[in-house]
Chains A and B, each alone.
Chain A
Amino acid sequence: MIFTTALDRPRVRGLIAAVFWLGVWQAAALALGNEVLLASPAKVVGAFARLAPTNGFWASIGYSAARIAGGFAIAAAGGAALAWVASLNRWLAALIWPAVRAIRTVPVVCFIVLLLIWADSSWLSVTISALMVLPVVYANVEEGIKRQDEGLDELARVFAMPARRRWLAIRLPAVLPHFTAACRVGVGLAWKAGVSAEVIGLPDGSIGDRLYQAKLVLSTGDLLCWTVVIVACSFAFEKLVLGALAAFESWLARGYAKSS
């Protein structure tokens, strides 16, 4: 009974699932018997043990993480600001929408090639991450603004609430769940698109550059090690962003409960 309850915990279930898929991976690697086609988990751990003590390993993570996080931040702020501007006036919305739609539908590789012509490849992952995330944030925040309770707007008007209170008590809490949903999707998108852009643009010292080098020397162990690093970075960054948003949401909820 106690054992069954322990197994039912989400973390335990997640751990068991992870172990299962590691087993599948190990079995597949053994069955293929070719380290170039598929390196085993043990080989990937070995690659990590070899790479992790080097300065270059962490420098590459720092290089890509800073740029991708920067692109994500630009998109989060820009998408939310554009959605707010569009909500002010139908003409502004009509003006902004085609640009956002174009960013959303144009294949990412077109932007990558264009940016390589226009600018240095060190800007690539920032710009591509921003371009991929901006339409997602814009669409979600726009939806949040549209779904705001008009009744609460009337409440604010009747009680002559100051603008700051309207924002903190009514508008931000209404939009925040939509913004959070966008960020949840956006973090993964930013990492996928950012690293893909680096693999094409090959900025020196980036994770994309390291992935490309691993491919050149057919080092599948290194390649999968960097893939695991990308997944881990994306996961950690998502936790960080969602944790910050949850803290902000609970700060908003606590607001006005005390007089001081």
Chain B
Amino acid sequence: MIRDVSFAYSQTPVLAGISARASTLAVTGPNGSGKTTLLKLILGLLAPLAGAVTAPAPRAAVFQDDRLIEHLTAVGNVRVAHPGKVADQAIAAEFRAVGLAEEAWLRPVRELSGGQRRRVCLARALLPGAQLVCLDEPFTGIDAETLPTVRAYTRDRLSGRDAAIATHNPDDLSFFNWPRLHLPGLPKSE
């Protein structure tokens, strides 16, 4: 739940008086309107200047910029992010579901294509365990042929969990059909 949240970077206000009650949320708005900042507030990476955010834990995320550990393999990146031991079969099932070719599983992620890396990020976030999942432009780089399957799998995986997606893609918005929060962006001070 987001209640009357405001946030600023140094002297630049980004969010003012934002509220949302839904457990799933689609955040929209132009570049620089504060979508990623709002996801960071929900994930607890930033503290609001005013208002409050209450969100369940454990948490997971697909970050806008991947945030993969480059020297680790695809499997390593998924395993390292999850507390306790994750079975090989569970990771394999997740990779298959997001369409990551088997040949990529044990390669360092620095050798993978943009689309493959994105699928690793999705697998990492969608594995069971997290009660809150935030997705920041999650399907960037995924080819048009497999996109509908991956999108559908993501929605199914998030059912019963709290989730937020930030996206510019109208297809994502209509597919997820979650309550929308539009951030218009704050006027820049002179």
Contact = CB atoms under 8 A, between A and B. Distances in A.
Interface of A: 149, 151-152, 154-155, 157-162, 165, 169-170, 173, 252-253, 255-259
Most chain B beta-carbon contacts within 10 A, residue among A158, A160, A257, A258: A158
A252 B71 contact: yes
Nearest to A250: B71
B97 interface: no
A259 B69 contact: no
A151 B65 contact: yes
Interface residues of B, number: 30
Contacts of A152: 67, 69
Given A158-B45, A169-B80, A257 B63 contact: no
In terms of DSSP, what is the predominant structure of the interface of chain A?
A: helix
B82 interface: yes
A169 B69 contact: yes
B86 A154 contact: no
Contacts of B45: 154, 157-158
A257 B65 contact: no
B87 interface: yes
Interface of B: 40, 43-45, 57-61, 63, 65, 67, 69, 71-73, 75-77, 79-83, 85-88, 106, 108
Most chain A beta-carbon contacts within 10 A, residue among B59, B67, B76: B67
16 contacts: A151-B63, A155-B61, A158-B60, A159-B61, A159-B81, A160-B57, A173-B69, A253-B72, A255-B76, A256-B72, A256-B77, A256-B79, A257-B75, A257-B76, A257-B79, A259-B86
A159 B62 CA distance: 11
Contacts of B108: 253
The 5 A-B residue pairs whose C-beta atoms are closest, nearest first, are A256-B76, A159-B81, A256-B79, A155-B67, A256-B80
Contacts of A169: 69, 72, 76, 80
A253 B63 contact: no
Given A151-B67, A173-B71, A253-B72, A158 B83 contact: no
A161 B57 contact: no
Most chain A beta-carbon contacts within 10 A, residue among B69, B77, B83: B69
A152 B65 CA distance: 10
A253 B44 CA distance: 29
A257 B88 CA distance: 9
Most chain A beta-carbon contacts within 10 A, residue among B65, B75, B79: B79
